[in-house]
């Protein structure tokens, strides 16, 4: 297999696992709270990951200790907040909507960089942002402009928009990551994010009793701990290293496709005209702000 097709396979696999995460979140929305699901996912993922990362973390410990604040912020935004907000969104909106809104993340990053870091972009990039936002708006409004007029949005869509904002901040913070190995960064940010979830989990179980552990719940937790958390990270990073971030970014647009198919099969969710149209808008916007010339 050529390097190009190997990269395509890895990137597609990563996106497929992320899509599966949305299906699991939506399927468990009535049996476990968002905080409990996020906590179980990251505590389990951290335990699984530690045997593979502790040597690298031990070697990089002086740099990790010196840069504890940025690592903690990366754990807070990329692990604790983003995933909890995503799981909260799954309680009231469809997995397809979540996937479509998530594809506007690059546009969100452009906006944050322009507003808070004075980064300049071409007119094509700004047009791409506008087109992507229009696509997300179409999805959130469910193709009914009266929803916009009355501001009667589904709360899950708004939770997902907030999650996108948090992940945009995480992406910008990555520019300040310390000079440590990828395994050390992964392990230390997992630990930070998992520890930050402890007090939130303690508060949550006072409101939402823990569900009874079943084979279905245990299997779901194992899936989200291994595949969307660890395997997707490794596959995505390897794919990006082979073909570059610009081309790799296009594979994010596969997420609504994979999620729509999985949701139709496992959750009997509908896939409507505004999903297709919104996806086309988002994809077109992504192409526009990826253009360098």
The structural domains of the chain, with segments of one domain joined by +, span 3-290
Say whether pLDDT at 6 is over 80.
yes
C-alpha triplet 174, 178, 181: angle, nearest 5° = 95
Bigger pLDDT: 72 vs 114: 72
Indicate the length of the chain as a whole number.
293
Which segment of 119-128, 247-256, 257-266, 271-280 scores lowest on mean pLDDT? 119-128
Predicted TM-score of the model (pTM): 0.84
Q: Where are the beta strands (DSSP E) in the chain?
A: none
Bigger pLDDT: 207 vs 95: 207
DSSP assignment letter at 213: P
Q: Are 189 and 75 contacting, i.e. CB atoms less than 8 angstroms apart?
A: yes
The model's confidence at residue 145, banded by pLDDT at 50, 70 and 90, is: low
Q: What tens digit of pLDDT does each residue of 237-264 get?
A: 788 778 776 567 667 777 877 887 888 8
Other Cβ atoms within 10 Å of 7 Cβ, number: 22
Structure tokens at 213: 């552990």
How far apart CA 76 and CA 245 sit, in angstroms, is 24
How far apart CA 285 and CA 136 sit, in angstroms, is 11
DSSP assignment letter at 29: T
How far apart CA 204 and CA 246 sit, in angstroms, is 39
Structure tokens at 121: 């972009």
Q: Are 189 and 79 contacting, i.e. CB atoms less than 8 angstroms apart?
A: yes
Q: What are the backbone angles phi and psi of residue 67, rounded to the nearest 5°?
A: -110, 35
């Amino acid at each position: 297999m050529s390097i190009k097709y190997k990269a395509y396979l890895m990137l597609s696999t990563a996106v497929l696992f992320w899509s599966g995460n949305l299906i699991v979140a939506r399927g468990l929305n009535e049996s476990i709270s968002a905080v409990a699901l996020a906590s179980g996912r990251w505590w389990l993922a951290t335990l699984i990951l530690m045997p593979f990362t502790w040597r690298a973390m031990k070697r990089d410990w002086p740099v990790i200790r010196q840069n504890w604040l940025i690592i903690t912020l990366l754990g807070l935004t990329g692990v604790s907040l983003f995933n909890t907000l995503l799981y909260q969104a799954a309680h009231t909106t469809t997995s397809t909507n979540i996937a479509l809104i998530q594809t506007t993340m690059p546009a969100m990053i452009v906006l944050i960089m322009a507003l808070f870091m004075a980064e300049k972009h071409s007119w094509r990039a700004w047009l791409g942002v506008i087109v992507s936002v229009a696509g997300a708006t179409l999805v959130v409004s469910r193709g009914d402009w009266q929803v916009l007029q009355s501001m009667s949005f589904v709360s899950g869509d708004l939770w997902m928009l907030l999650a996108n904002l948090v992940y945009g901040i995480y992406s910008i913070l990555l520019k300040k990551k310390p000079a440590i190995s990828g395994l050390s960064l992964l392990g230390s940010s997992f630990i930070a994010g998992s520890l930050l979830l402890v007090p939130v989990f303690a508060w949550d179980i006072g409101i939402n009793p823990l569900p009874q552990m079943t084979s279905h719940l245990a299997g779901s937790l194992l899936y989200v701990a291994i595949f969307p958390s660890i395997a997707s990270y490794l596959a995505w990073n390897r794919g990006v290293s082979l073909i570059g971030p610009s081309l790799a970014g296009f594979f994010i647009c596969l997420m609504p496709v994979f999620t729509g198919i999985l949701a139709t099969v496992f959750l009997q969710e509908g896939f409507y005209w505004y999903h297709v149209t919104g996806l086309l808008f988002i994809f077109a916007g992504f192409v526009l702000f990826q253009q360098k010339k």
